[in-house]
Structure 1
Amino acid sequence: MAALPELEPGTLPPEAAALRAEVRAFLAAADFEPRADCWLTGADPAFSRALGARGWLGMTLPARYGGHGRSPLERFVVVEELLAAGAPVGAHWIADRQIGPSLLHHGSEEQKRRFLPAIARGECFFAIGMSEPDAGSDLASVRTRAERDGDGWRLTGTKVWTSGAHLAHAICVLARSEPGSERHAGLTQFLVPLPADGVTVRPILSLSGDHHFNEVVLDGARVPDALVLGAPGNGWAQVTAELAYERSGPERVLSTFPLLRLAHERGALPAAALGRLAARLWALRQASLGVAAALDAGRTPAAEAALVKDLGTRFESEITAAVREHAGIEPDPGSPDPLARALAQAVVQAPGFTLRGGTSEILRGIVARGLGVR
C-alpha cells in the first residue's frame, strides 16, 4: 500500500494580513446581496472587472501576461474572503481558477497573450466543456468528436451542465480526436471563442428557475490548429492536472458559509452544533490551505485535492441540514428574511455539491488509487 496522502501545513505569507484587510474593506463598501454558492450562482461581470482592476484576478500569472506574480497562498486569501462574503464571483470563476493556470502550463505563446491579460482584467470569461449526456462523472467516456479539417478541426457533440456558458467569451472543450483510441488516450482540448458558428448554447434552469447551467451543442464547429490547447492527444493528462485546481479550493468548503454566518449572527444554532461545524470548518480549511501550499511548491496533489473535495462538499450539506433543524424557519427564496433566502439557496444547490467536480464515488476511487489499493 502506498503512503497515506499527507499535506504539509500551509503557512500564509506575512503580507496576507494586510491583503485580507484590504479585501474586507473593499467588500464592505461593495453593493451586493450575499449568496450561498456564490461562485456558481452569483455572476456580475462589472464586479469581476472591479476585482481585475484591483489586481485580484490572474494573481498568480506572470506580469508579462497581465498577471501579478503573486503566490497561490495570496490568491487563497482573496478567494477565501470573496467566498465568505458570498460575493458575485461566478462570471470570472472558471477562467481565473483553472483556465489561466492551464493556459500558462500548456498554451502556446499566442494563446497566452490572447487570453491571459483579458482574464486578469476580468474581461474574458471561460466555460468548460467536459460533462456529456449519459456520462455522469466519467470524463473518459467523451463522445464529442474532433475531426481533421485542413489546418483545423471540426467539433461535433453535446456538453451539459456547462456553468456560465451563456456569459462566457470562450469554452474549453474536451473532445476525442483519435477514434477508437484507448479510453484515456486520443483526447484533445480545444479553445472555442464564443459566440461561434456551429455552437448553440441552451439554458438549463435549476429548480428555482435560476440560469447558470447550460447545454452546449457543437455542430461541426471549426477550430483552427492555433486554438488547440497543448498537444493533440494529451487532453487527459492536461484535464487531470487541471482538476486539482478545481477540486481543492476553498469553494469546496465555503459555499454555504454565508448561511452559517447568518445563522450564527441570528443566534439560530445551539452552541454544541455551532462548535461542531466550526471545528470541521477549521480542519477542512487547513486541508484546503495545504493543497494550495502543495500547488505553490509545484506539486500536483491529485489524491489530496480529491479528498478535500469529498469531505468539503459533504460538510457544506451538513451546514444546510443544521440550519434547517435548529433555525425554526422555512427556506423561502422570496422571503424578506435574509436567513430564509440563504437557506433556500443552499437547499436548492445542495444536490449538486457531491456531483460537480466529480462525484463522491469518483473522488474516493482517486484516493484509493493514490493509496495503491485500487
Structure 2
Amino acid sequence: MVVSALCVVAVAIPSLVWWQAGDAEPSSGPCSDDVALIGHSDALDGAEYEAAVPVDGLSGLAMSGPSRAWALADNAPGRIFELDLGTTGAVPPAARAVHLRTLRPTGGGRFDGEGLVLEKGGRTVLVASEAGPSIRRFRVSDGVQTGRVELPRNLVEWAGPENLEALDASPNGRYLYAGLEAPLFHDGKARGRSLLRIQRFRGTPGGAYVPDKQFAYQSAAGLRVSELVALGGDRLLVLETNHAEGQGNAVRVFGADLSRAKDVSKVASLQSEPVDAFAKKWEPVDLVTCPRGGAAAAQPQLNPLLENAEGMTLGTAPLASGPYKGRMPLFLVSDNNNSPHQITRVYALAIRLGRAAAG
C-alpha cells in the first residue's frame, strides 16, 4: 500500500481489461453497483524468480508504480517480490516477478510477514509480522531492518497466534493502521462475528510512529480480517475472508468509517461495548458475484474465481479510459499456502470510491 494522495491525475492503463482467450463467459464485468472485475491472472502460479525462488505464499501487496507492486511472502525467510502486473497488452496478462529482496529482521524470534506498506519515496517498507507480533521497517535496497514500531501492550499480551494481519498508511503518511485477524482473548465474538481491534499510529513516513487510537471493528459472521486499505479521513477498505470445507473461499470487501468510532485503547473487553462504539460498515462487493469466465479452481468453490485472497492495495491513479473510467483500480493477490490445492492469483477490480464511501 503505497503512501500517496488519492487526488492524482488519471493515467492511461490500456491493458487493464484482462481475459483468457476463448472464454465462453465474460471474464470482466460488474460485481456490484460500485465494483467491477477488470480481470484476473494466474501467471504467477507455480512461477519462480530467476528459475530459483518460488513466487508463492503472497500475503501483502503495495503499489510501487502504475503497473508495479511489491508483494510480501509470508514463508521463511521473509521476502518481497516486485511484480509486473502485466498491464502491457499481453493476453493472458504476463504478471511476473522482476525483483526480489530478502528481508533481514533483527532481534531473533520467528518472523511471519502478513501486512506491507511501501513508505513515501519508495526507499523503505513497513512489515507487520503475525509472529511476535511486530511491525518492522526494512530498506528496500538490501532488506536490512532499520527500525520497528512500538505496539500497545494489549496487542502483545492478549493476542493469540492470529493477530497482526493487515497494515496500511493513510495517503499523506500521517497515520498507520494495523488490523487484527482474530479477537484478543478478552474480546472474543458476538453471534459469530469477531470483535476486532484496528490500531492507529501517528507519525511520519520513514520516521517514528507511536500508538494513537484503537478502534473496535466487527467482522461479518464467520469471516476474519485479511487486509485493509487506508483511504484518508479514517476511512478504510477492509478485506474479510475465510474458507469452508466443500464450499471454498469467501472473499468480501467492506468499507469502514472509524471517524465516529470510540477510542477503545483503554477498554479491557469489547464484549460490553454498544453497537455505536464500533466502526460503521458497508459492503461494496462480495467477489462471489463477479463474472467467472476463464477462472479455474483447484478445489470446490461457489465461484471458480475465488481463492485465498490475502493482499489488497489501491492503484496509483483513476482509470483514464474504458467502461470504468474514473474508478480506482483495486488489486488483490491470493496466498497459495504452498499447496497444490490453491492458486496464486492476482485480481484487478475497478471501484467507485466516492459512492462506496458514502455508505
TM over 0.5, shorter chain = no
| Structure showing the higher strand proportion among its residues | 2
| Structure showing the higher helix proportion among its residues | 1
TM-score of the aligned structures, taking structure 2 as reference length: 0.28
Larger Rg: 1
TM-score of the aligned structures, taking structure 1 as reference length: 0.27
